[in-house]
Chains A and B, each alone.
Chain A
Amino acid sequence: MSQRSFHIWLTVLQREYVTRVRRRAFLVATLLGPVLWVGLIAGMVLLTQSTESPAKVWVVDHDGLLTIPTDGEQFLPSCPSCYPDRSLLDYRFGRETKDVKELQREGFTCMVELDEGILQSEKAQLLHLEPPTGKTKRWMQRDLSQALERLKVREQSNLNYEDYLALKTNVVLLGIDITTGEQKGAGQGGLGFIFSLFMLTFVLVYGMHVMRGVIEEKSNRIVEVVLSTVRPGQLLAGKIAGIGLVGLTQIAAWALLSWALMLGVGMAIEQSSWMESWTATQGLASGTADFQTVLAAEEDLAFLLDINWGVMLGCGAMYFVLGYAMYAAFFATIGAMVEQEADAQYLMLPVMMPLLFSYVLASMTIDAPESTLAIISSFVPFSSPVSMMVRLPMGVPWWHVALSMTLLAGTAAFFVGLAARVYRVAILMYGKRPTFREIIRWTLRPDSGAL
């Protein structure tokens, strides 16, 4: 690119960027975004907490706290009524642990190990092949808590209300992936889903910004003045880059504001009286715990400390840039083909389909981000920006990310090139919508038709 061409491209980019970032709507969205997202995250956590998944649980009762043996070396719960009949949750009891192969062969999805220590700590490990959803896990915690309470009550006599309250038990299950030893749970899936929703929204919103920009230039006829100085390809590239930069600015602003918000909330919690009482209940010395300690102790939130936020944000930004570039090319082509936004509606549907499909897939794989479907869709360029976001919080092999990004970058470059060929002709066509045959002809012709 010559210096003059670069100057023109930069001038177009600057106009697209400046006119958008100073709009009141952009400033409001940027400032309110983190607040809304925090609310949405809370909503999503609630949602994941309320979904249920089938689970067959092998309960290892090493010290015979919850089970009684039968003749056939089988163990039955000593409190059958503590485990209500639920269609998706099935318990089996024993005294010995099983290895991964045994669990798989016998169809178990997870294993809970109990010994006498749980009576004090109220914590047990949940070793899973497939992580249960929040709701299923909560059922398991409630069932085991009831069974342990029953055990404690049985050992007491002359129980008064204060004693009863002291016997109340709240078992916390610490989810661990039995194959990797990593702590994984619904939290990561939920977070990944939030990120995928975030990606879908950004790609669509900024892609449509490009389309509207193209339609504006075409419908108010300013494009002919611009094209007497700027090549169509330069105009399109400047527009896509400028609007993409607006998106990146918003992502960066949201990340910074969210970080500041978390920091503020953390500091407020650390200095509150609640922190003192929490420290005391955890048996910690006063002043030794901070906000991170609280997060680490709360099993539903502890995963936040395990997330590699640098990788998440870095990959998120890259997937946005590449995914946005590809979809912006599609949207720009649509914009060039029509003279008003209403005409673009039905052309947008096929373009949005892959994104919407990957969103549906993301919602389906929220509990199983490593399923074959999720992995394949994270490589397919049309869906990878959204699908990979679900997988990233779980930790993804680096080569998966590299391959997925390479495929996406290549596909994006290919479609941006094709879009530029259609755009340069269609943008000056008035009173007639190009036919499919014409579009194919333009994409095959390397000569731009312009000087």
Chain B
Amino acid sequence: MATPVLHTQGVTKAFGDHVALSPLDVEVMEGRIVGLLGPNGAGKTTLLRMVTGITKPDNGELKMWGEPHHRKLLSRMGYLPEERGLYKSMRVAEQVLYFATLRGMNRMEAERDLKGWFERLEVEGWWNREVADLSKGMAQKIQFIATVLHRPELLILDEPFSGLDPINAALVRGEMLRLVQEEGTTLVLSTHDMGSVEALCDEVILLHQGRKVLAGPTDTVREDARRGRIRVVMRGNLMAFVAELGARAELLSKSTSQVKSNEGQSVHQLEIALPDGWPMPDFLSWAVNHVEVLEAVPLKLSMEEVFVQSVESAGS
């Protein structure tokens, strides 16, 4: 069995009376893109600060690449925090090289690689520019380069697309995928942008009030969260069908097509939540006795819906 890049077991952290993390078990495997999700104050930044060595857990075990965490492992990581800045008194390239040197990279090698990154992210003319002259989006790209220049095996990005226009966001997203696919980098992505999570993440971990409330492959999570929800397109007497459905299942929504069929009957689209113990095939066998079923598909929740649903149910 492969060794996880990041593994926590029973990790806790409190600041005074405030419990930031309750006993937490998470695992991130090599080469995966993992979304770390949760509302504000869920404990995401606390977890990331532990992984990046800024703080230590109060209790529990934190292992990186199978070893108990220690400072030498930090140079194998790249961390882009949500709140980030640059030294205004330094030039752009000089600043990125400073961080690469701090992370143990040879200066000449760093300069060579940096030129490549400047080309890929289309900032060639900015080598000797003052940081104070950078726009917010440009600064974001420089910060991204500073995070990845030393070729980290684990890349931790907190809201990496904030401040980027769609074109530059796509450019950065492309580079992130290239790092994962070509260099085997493991990526932990902390974000509130659920579109990015759906597009990029193989797996998600959802935290709420310092606890893990959801974890697993993104598709599975979305599938599991649908809780028997299906979409049915049917033709027939809607009122009679709904009356028959009665308390058997919950009707979530209904809509009627404006275009009537050849027989003069309307086409209706229903979203129904099937209860446990009434699987979709059984429901369809029952439904065809009452209406003509044109189409029936399981509903797949968006990550945003999964997020809201999970947080609400964890809260209740």
Contacts and interface: CB of A to CB of B under 8 A. Distances in A.
Partners in one complex: yes
Interface string A410-451: 000000000000000000100000000000000000000111
A221 B55 contact: no
A448 to B, nearest CB: 8
Interface string A1-33: 000100110011001000100010000000000
A150 B149 CA distance: 89
B101 interface: yes
Given A19-B90, A225-B81, A451 B98 contact: no
Interface stretch (A51-59, A226-234, A268-276, A283-291): A226-234
Given A225-B99, A226-B102, A451 B84 contact: no
Contacts of A7: 104
A450 B99 CA distance: 19
Interface in B153-196: none
A135 B17 CA distance: 67
Given A11-B102, A228-B77, A451 B89 contact: no
Given A224-B83, A225-B99, A225-B146, A451 B71 contact: yes
Given A11-B98, A222-B85, A451-B71, A228 B52 contact: yes
Nearest to A224: B81
A405 to B, nearest CB: 34
Contacts of B54: 224, 227-228, 428, 450-451
If over half of B's interface residues share one DSSP class (helix, strand or loop), that class is named, otherwise mixed; here it is loop
A12 B81 CA distance: 20
A216 B79 contact: no
B295 to A, nearest CB: 51
Contact of A449 (B56, B69, B80): B56
Contact of A19 (B52, B84, B89, B103): B89
A444 to B, nearest CB: 15
A243 B251 CA distance: 70
A222 B55 contact: no
Given A228-B53, A228-B54, A221 B74 contact: no
Given A222-B85, A222-B87, A451-B71, A229 B55 contact: no
B86 A8 contact: no
A449 to B, nearest CB: 6
B66 to A, nearest CB: 17
A427 B197 CA distance: 31
Nearest to A429: B15
Contacts of B86: 220, 222
A450 B53 CA distance: 6
Contact of A450 (B55, B80, B83, B146): B55
Contact of A216 (B56, B88, B99): B88
A216 B49 CA distance: 21
Contacts of B53: 227-228, 450-451
Contacts of B104: 4, 7
Contacts of A451: 53-56, 69-71, 74
A247 B276 CA distance: 75
A221 B56 CA distance: 20
Interface of B: 49, 52-56, 69-72, 74-75, 77, 79-81, 83-90, 98-99, 101-104, 143, 146-147
5 contacts: A15-B90, A224-B49, A228-B77, A228-B81, A451-B54
